[in-house]
Structure 1
Amino acid sequence: MARPLIGVSTYLETGARWGVWELDAALLPAGYPRLVQRAGGLAALLPPDAPERAAATVARLDGLVIAGGPDVDPDRYGAARDPRTGPPARERDTWELALIGAALAARVPLLGICRGMQLLNVALGGTLVQHLDGHAELVGVFGGHPVKPVPGTRYAALVAEEMTVPTYHHQSVDRLGTGLVPSAYAADGTPEAVELPGDHWVLGVQWHPEMGEDVRVMRGLVEAAGT
């Protein structure tokens, strides 16, 4: 049986260095494709492209992951920019919002990771808290904190127990997008997972499962993509 093809969105960065080269590059931390592979999927990297190509791209996939990365442009949810919000990545916002819209329209299984969860919320009309203390302990270093599942949710069916997760973020969901429900919380009440109820597999997690050993969330996506 063929492994489900899971597309993962990527960065597009200028001046990346490897070997003797310094060039523009489509980048993705290796933890993402490795997690897809460990969960039984085949990873395909999706660099930013023209948004009108999103539907055709998603049509070739069995599942979609929107990866972590820079802050979502506050213009996308009608907010003034907080001084602590990072520089916009408008091309990536445009492409990933188009991918999310295409996956929702085509009912392709969808997992948003960190920024991906936030962008899913924005795509459905929600807003974000632009700065949150305590969820990124040191610059460039992943921390960890416990998250508690909400009983009866898709996430709780995958991970029934409270567990400590790898985390690095300074923003979070505020007003939930249309149809989304929280499915896990941090101890301070921050929503750490959101999902769409029903038979379309759509889940966002605020932490970084690609930086840990637990494959259950990604395996849930891969299994949904294989049906």
Structure 2
Amino acid sequence: MKPRIGIAGSQRTMVEGETHWLSYTPRNFVTGITRAGGLPFVLPVGEPEDAPAYMANVDKLLLAGGQDVDPRLYHALPQAQLKALDVPRDHFELALIAAALEQGKPIFAICRGMQLLNVALGGSLVQDLSLREENTLKHDQFPTPFAQPTHPVMINEDSLLRTLLPASYQVNSFHHQTIHRLGSGLTVTATAPDGVIEGIEDQNRRLLGVQWHPELACETIATEQGLFDYFVHSL
């Protein structure tokens, strides 16, 4: 049986004469999981109390990118640079994370997903890279093509990530927030030259997070597809 992968979905409105709500995930996630031999299921934003039932019906959880994380979740006031939030999505995904941990199921967290996983484990975020005291690289590469890597990361030797990628690796980049205080049990596995955290993990709980977007490059870069392969079959 193929591993069943739950993808935490997003939601937005669409206006075509009338306004409609959409529950969705970018197709790139579906493609990456399917190519790896997994069976993807999109988990629509719903009631937090239903999260354990959703997780009981899948083998692993993928947390995708999207809106900023509500700063109230890490006891901070909103800064002027904060962008769009989706508070119901935050709370539903926090419940999915809690259920996955309770059921001992692996989590692969990408971009916002990595940030929310960090917050779920007691960590905090920098709400905008401009608020860092250090000089900061360009971490939002738009309008450069999405699949094209634009900056390097250094990957720690004693990490799951290092078994999949070289010590120096080029990534694409689409984020304006970053981890500040690291969540409980997590270790940093990758950093950009400016010190921005680009990868986290907890090997005991089978948690893996990356700040970049392998789903946008997995069709053309084998190592990016390799992250999905590892998640589906080995994490």
Asked whether the two chains share a fold, i.e. TM above 0.5, the reply is yes
> What residue number does 2:164 align with?
158
**1:105-124 to 2 correspondence within 5 Å?**
105-124=102-121
Instruction: Indicate which of 171, 174, 186 corresponds to 2:180.
Output: 174
Question: CA contact under 8 A between 1:129 and 1:173: conserved in structure 2?
Answer: yes
> What residue number does 2:229 align with?
219
**1:1-227 to 2 correspondence within 5 Å?**
2-15=1-14, 23-133=20-130, 134-138=138-142, 142=146, 144-198=150-204, 200-213=205-218, 214-224=224-234
Measured in 1, the distance between the counterparts of 2:91 and 2:143 equals: 27
Measured in 2, the distance between the counterparts of 1:127 and 1:139 equals: 29
User: Structure 1 16/42 Cα, relative in aligned 2: closer, same or farther at 3 Å?
Assistant: farther
Measured in 1, the distance between the counterparts of 2:129 and 2:36 equals: 31
Question: CA contact under 8 A between 2:14 and 2:21: conserved in structure 1?
Answer: yes
CA shift for structure 1 position 216: 1.6
Question: CA contact under 8 A between 1:165 and 1:212: conserved in structure 2?
Answer: no
Question: CA contact under 8 A between 1:9 and 1:66: conserved in structure 2?
Answer: yes
Percent identical pairs in the alignment equals 39
- Write the deviation string for residues 127-186 of structure 1: whole angstroms up to 9, x where unpaired: 001111520133796462111210011111122342211210000111000010001111
Question: CA contact under 8 A between 1:181 and 1:197: conserved in structure 2?
Answer: no
Question: CA contact under 8 A between 2:5 and 2:39: conserved in structure 1?
Answer: yes
Measured in 2, the distance between the counterparts of 1:69 and 1:140 equals: 19
- Aligned residue identity for 2:184: T
Name structure 1 gaps, 5 residues minimum.
none
User: Structure 1 109/126 Cα, relative in aligned 2: closer, same or farther at 3 Å?
Assistant: same
Q: How many residues align?
A: 221
Name structure 2 gaps, 5 residues minimum.
131-137, 219-223
- Write the deviation string for residues 26-56 of structure 1: whole angstroms up to 9, x where unpaired: 1221111101111221110011011011111
SS at match of 2:61: strand
SS at match of 2:150: strand
Q: CA RMSD in A?
A: 1.8
